[in-house]
């Protein structure tokens, strides 16, 4: 965002590959969903690299080690080294090492990535509350169940510091959204009455570490979550690109508060390769190419009379709606009521799940 401009309104005259030197990419919902790549994204990232953009990978998913993540990315056609990957387990391990000191006992809850990061940070990983851990580090793991949560509860009630790698309530999957680490962290917090220290995104430390490793001068954060990726970018002082290939929906975008409003929008990470149209104010409302979003009486109306002239990536009408809605609510997020001004707009709004009854 530049000056007092509304996010999304400025657009870009050139593709982000020409204006940003490093893309800091979230993984789940951006590069892959479950075990499979988002269609077209490996090819898009290859093209971004060919254009001179470097890639770093910043994930709140603590289940796997950087080595495992890099191997998976390489298998999907996105070559990566462990040093290219920053996980929330690594961030948590660094914080906990400062809290409890070298060799401190820590109860690990989550996938293998949690214990591996703690061990690499010089901490002693234990499995039971009776081992007197000074801290509990809780991260996502697909096999986390009652037994591990119970150990965490006993340890925290016994005085251990509760540290969460992230509090993402959901994760994307081919079957739809599924419970994320935040859902399980909530169980421990509810039973213990203690709120955890959270070390992953949106805390800026992970993006800052990736910037340090890559030497980025003008990074672009690419993510699918408003409350972690986009807020994290803002807190790190970086521009952001929201993709709709993961968790965030068009309705989420419109309802976003100031800290969750992205600078750019794209269906997926291929948005790194294209210029992004501006959204401009006129007497009738807000225009993006052939689309017009107008607001009155607390509602928005989308018109698409000339939209077929420049089809773009299919999101120009959504860009216009977002800017129009945010202009009406500059200081807080509000759910939007959207109506169609014509048949083309109605079809688009149905596709985005935004058409009001």
Average pLDDT, the chain: 94
Residues 151-199: tens digit of each pLDDT: 999 999 999 999 999 999 999 899 998 999 999 999 999 999 999 999 9
> Concatenated DSSP letters for 210-254?
HHHHHT-SSEEEEES-IIIIIHHHHHHT-EEEEESSSS--HHHHH
Which residues partner with 102 through β-bridges? none
Which of 7-21, 119-133, 164-178, 212-226 has the lowest average pLDDT? Answer: 164-178
Chain centroid, CA 264 distance in Å:
13
**Neighbour-count burial of 66, counting CB atoms closer than 10 A to its CB (0-12 exposed, 13-18 middle, 19+ buried):** buried
Count of C-beta atoms within a 10 Å radius of residue 336: 24
Q: Which CATH architecture has domain 88-198?
A: 3-Layer(aba) Sandwich (3.40)
Q: Are 113 and 120 in contact (CB under 8 A)?
A: no
Domain boundaries, the chain: 16-60+202-273, 88-198, 280-352
Count of C-beta atoms within a 10 Å radius of residue 339: 15
Residues 139-151: tens digit of each pLDDT: 999 999 999 999 9
Q: Which of 4, 21, 26, 316 is catalytic?
A: 26
Mean pLDDT for 5-18 is: 95
Distance separating alpha carbons of residues 237 and 86, to the nearest angstrom: 18
pLDDT of residue 62: 87
pLDDT of residue 5: 79
Active-site annotation holds for 4: no
Q: Are 338 and 286 in contact (CB under 8 A)?
A: no
Pick the CATH number of 280-352 from 2.130.10.10, 3.40.50.970, 3.30.420.40, 3.30.300.290: 3.30.300.290
Residues 6+ apart with CB under 8 A from 29: 38, 171, 172, 223, 224, 225, 243, 245, 246, 247
pLDDT of residue 309: 57
**Neighbour-count burial of 249, counting CB atoms closer than 10 A to its CB (0-12 exposed, 13-18 middle, 19+ buried):** middle
Distance separating alpha carbons of residues 123 and 256, to the nearest angstrom: 39
**Neighbour-count burial of 353, counting CB atoms closer than 10 A to its CB (0-12 exposed, 13-18 middle, 19+ buried):** exposed
CA distances from 196 to 108, 161, 180, 189 (A): 14, 8, 16, 7
Place of tokens 């007497």: 283
Query: pLDDT tier at 116 (50, 70, 90 boundaries)?
Result: very high
pLDDT(311) > 90? no
Q: Do the domains 280-352 and 88-198 match in fold? A: no
To 5 degrees, how large is the angle CA 155–CA 67–CA 219?
A: 95
pLDDT of residue 298: 80
pLDDT of residue 229: 96
Of 9 and 62, more confident:
9
For the domain 16-60+202-273, what is the CATH code? 3.40.50.1000
Question: Taken in order 312, 314, 315, 318, is the CA torsion positive or negative?
Answer: positive
Which residues partner with 304 through β-bridges? none
pLDDT(1) > 90? no
pTM of structure: 0.91
Q: Are 250 and 336 in contact (CB under 8 A)?
A: no
Cα torsion through 23, 24, 30, 32, rounded to 10: 100
Distance separating alpha carbons of residues 107 and 134, to the nearest angstrom: 8
Query: pLDDT tier at 205 (50, 70, 90 boundaries)?
Result: confident
Active-site annotation holds for 168: no
pLDDT of residue 2: 39
Q: Which of 21, 28, 227, 342 is catalytic?
A: 28
pLDDT(28) > 50? yes
């Amino acid at each position: 965002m530049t000056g007092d401009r509304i996010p999304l309104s400025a657009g870009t005259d050139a593709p982000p590959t020409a204006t940003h030197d490093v893309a800091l990419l979230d993984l789940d919902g951006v590069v892959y969903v479950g075990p499979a790549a988002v269609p077209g994204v490996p090819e898009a990232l290859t093209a971004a690299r060919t254009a001179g953009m470097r890639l770093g990978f910043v994930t709140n998913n603590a289940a796997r080690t950087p080595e495992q993540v890099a191997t998976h990315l390489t298998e999907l056609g996105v070559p990566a080294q462990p040093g290219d990957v920053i996980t929330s387990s690594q961030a948590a391990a660094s914080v906990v090492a400062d809290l409890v000191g070298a060799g401190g006992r820590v109860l690990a809850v989550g996938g293998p990535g949690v214990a591996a990061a703690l061990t690499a940070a010089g901490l002693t990983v234990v499995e039971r509350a009776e081992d007197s851990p000074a801290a509990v580090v809780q991260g996502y793991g697909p096999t986390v169940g009652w037994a591990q949560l119970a150990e965490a509860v006993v340890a925290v009630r016994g005085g251990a510091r509760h540290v969460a790698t992230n509090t993402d309530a959901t994760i994307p999957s081919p079957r739809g959204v599924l419970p994320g680490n935040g859902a399980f962290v909530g169980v421990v917090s509810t039973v213990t009455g203690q709120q955890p220290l959270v070390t992953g995104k949106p805390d800026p430390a992970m993006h800052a570490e990736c910037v340090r490793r890559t030497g980025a001068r003008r990074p672009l954060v690419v993510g699918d979550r408003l409350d972690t990726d986009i807020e994290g970018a803002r807190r790190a002082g970086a521009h952001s690109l929201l993709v709709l290939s993961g968790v965030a929906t068009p309705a989420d975008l419109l309802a976003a508060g100031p800290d969750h409003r992205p600078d750019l929008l794209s269906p997926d990470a291929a948005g790194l390769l294209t210029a992004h149209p501006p959204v401009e104010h006129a007497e009738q409302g807000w225009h993006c190419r052939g689309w017009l979003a107008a607001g009155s009486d607390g509602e928005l109306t989308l018109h698409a009379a000339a939209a077929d002239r420049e089809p773009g990536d299919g999101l120009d009408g959504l860009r216009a709606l977002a800017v129009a809605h945010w202009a009406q609510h500059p200081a807080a997020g509000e759910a939007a009521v959207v109506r169609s001004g014509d048949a083309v707009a109605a079809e688009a709004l149905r596709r985005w799940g935004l058409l009001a009854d």
